[in-house]
Amino acid sequence: MKKIGVLVSGGGTNWQALIDAQGSVLKNGEIVTVVSNKEGVYALERAKKAGIDAKVITRKECGSKEAFDIALRDYMKSMGVEVVVLAGFLAILGENFLSAYKDKIVNIHPSLIPSFCGDGFYGLHVHEAALKYGVKVTGATAHLVNEITDGGKILLQKAVYIDDGDTPEILQKRVMEQAEWIILPQAVEMICSAE
């Protein structure tokens, strides 16, 4: 069983999908901790309800981006974490963290990479861009994390159709329900069951 650590920044809907997948989709991994880079987010409450260790580490308390990366890395290592999952984590990880978990960090992105990805494309911004461009199909991509924003190896993708009258909020919800919550646990299981 690989030990999994999850990084979050908000409400934690993708985090909840991982909690729900334990023992079913997630057979070769066990979530041992979740870390938020923000105080008071609902993701921490989800951890408490599931009986999973939760911690807050903020960049502000660390003093610098580099110190933040080192604090995250050292905490994950202290928990025995072997696979890291970004589930709505809105901070860019630096070299100190990335090198410690090379090819072991999974992220979910709310589009079909390479469309609507990279710096500045997160949350509703992705869905606003897809609607503005007029694409008829969007979706989600589970990928490995490297030093390029949304630039790591693609593990899984799932398409979602755009309907007439979609707003960014409606599209965001559909992409989560029909793609993100399905492929994120599957991608984590792929990494946990490899080797």
Among residues 156, 167, 157, 158, which one has the least CA distance to residue 130? 167
73: left (phi over 0), alpha (psi -120 to 50) or beta: alpha
Alpha-carbon gap, residue 138 to 122, rounded angstroms: 14
Closest CA to 14 of 195, 187, 193, 192: 187
Beta bridge partners of 158: 140
Longest dimension (CA), the chain: 49
Q: Does the active-site annotation cover 109? A: yes
Are 105 and 142 spatial neighbours (Cβ–Cβ below 8 Å)? no
Catalytically annotated residues: 109
